[in-house]
Amino acid sequence: MKRKVGIIGAGHVGSDVAFSLVTQGICDEIVIIDKIEAKAESEALELRDMASMTRSYTTITANNWEALSDTDIIVMAVGPETLLREDRMEELVETSRSVTEIVPKILATGFKGIFVNITNPCDVITMLIQKVSGFDHSRVFGTGTSLDTARMRRVVGEALHINPKSIEGYVLGEHGESQFVAWSTVKIGGVNITDYKTKTPLDLPALKDAVRGGGWNILTGKGWTSFGIATATAGIVDALLTDAKQVFPLAVFSEQTNTYIGQPALIGANGVLDTIKPPLTKEEQTNFEHSAEVIRKAFDLL
């Protein structure tokens, strides 16, 4: 049985997702599509050039919409023309127009798999994909705060001089300005960060700012961000294809807020199996509800 993934958008993010999938041997076949066909063709050709050096073989094709019909997963990685924007919400008009055109073309192929959205603003665009496709909420979700959570673990790990893999916890809410670190969930070896012994007290507000500003620092330095989100997406795709039943902080539908928003979710071969609601402090719950309102208002603009 083929493990087949479609990637819509061959920009920095889409191409790095493809690179991650190929180098990690996560799938058997990738279909790359971009409105600039020569770009998708070039990315596919370079990925095929790697075939003799990767640990497993991956078939790569480009710009074949009909080939999406039997894909297990479609990764939406459409980006805006202008990359250097501080607020992801500024991309909404452009990316929503693109997605509204693309999703019907995908459905016309007979696609019945799972949508994984990266396109920003992630939570709002994920809601749009679900609405346009009519798919069940379990089969449409976004990368949400997966990258933000990884940044939090990196920031906390560097502050404590600990491998970020040893940091537990989540960034929740919008993948954007209203996101927040749920410090009540952040632990090291089962010990909450506020109780963890350090030589000097941790400045949690400063760490929070470092987490939220991480993407902007990368963006202003190199012009785009792609390695982190591509790696996060590859892990999500792997969990779906292997029915891993693994928890990720994703943009999933919340009945509580009636919107897509970043929170822990259990995923497997059939998509989202369950959403997990970690106990939050009163302040964190307020932040979560505020973030949901930001997302909902942006969606209403569409």
Residues designated as active site: 175
Q: Give the distance from CA 225 to its chain's centroid.
A: 12
Task: Supply the Cα-derived Rg of the chain in whole angstroms.
Answer: 19
Angle of helix 122-133 versus helix 282-301 axis, rounded to 10: 60
If you write DSSP's letter for every residue of 113-139 in order, what string do you get?
SEEEE-PSSHHHHHHHHHHHH---GGG
Name residue, tokens 């009540």: 184
Helix and strand counts by DSSP (H, E) for the chain: 8, 12
How deeply is 195 buried, as exposed, middle or buried, from its count of CB atoms within 10 A (0-12, 13-18, 19+)?
Answer: exposed
- Of all helices (H) and strands (E), which one includes residue 22? helix 12-23
* 3-state SS assignment for residue 69: coil
User: In angstroms, what CA-CA distances link 224 with 32, 59, 85, 214?
Assistant: 20, 27, 10, 12
